[in-house]
Amino acid sequence: MWAFIVLGILGGLLGLGLAFAAEYLKIEADPRIGGVKERLPGYDCGACSYPGCSAFAEAIVEGDVDHLKECKPGKDTHYDAILEYLKDNPNRDGSLIQVKK
């Protein structure tokens, strides 16, 4: 009987600890990374020299990519959509991410 009570209390305390950690230790990702990733082909092939589309999208948003054509399977429709999206979602200071087709 005591084992159930002790385990129940421990479970509750660990649950509270996880809830606290989830709320206060979370890392906010730039929402534009997801917006750019949605507009990439999504093959996760690595032809861009990044480990996948998410990493390439993150590099674009961080300004580490000069040309979107580094995504080899991409088409003009992908590149145009990304450029349009980035134009509509500038940096916090209003500057645009510098990337070309």
Residues near ligand SF4 (CB under 6 A) are: 40-41, 43-48, 50, 52-53, 56, 71-74
Comparing CB distances to ligand SF4, the nearer of 19 and 41 is: 41
Comparing CB distances to ligand SF4, the nearer of 38 and 84 is: 38
* DSSP letter string, 42-77: -----TTSSSSHHHHHHHHHTT--SBGGGSTT--HH
60: left (phi over 0), alpha (psi -120 to 50) or beta: alpha
CB 37 to ligand SF4: min, Å = 8
Nearest CA-CA partner of 99 in 72, 55, 63: 63
CB 81 to ligand SF4: min, Å = 13
Comparing CB distances to ligand SF4, the nearer of 40 and 61 is: 40
CB 93 to ligand SF4: min, Å = 27
Q: Which residue has the tokens 């080899």?
A: 72
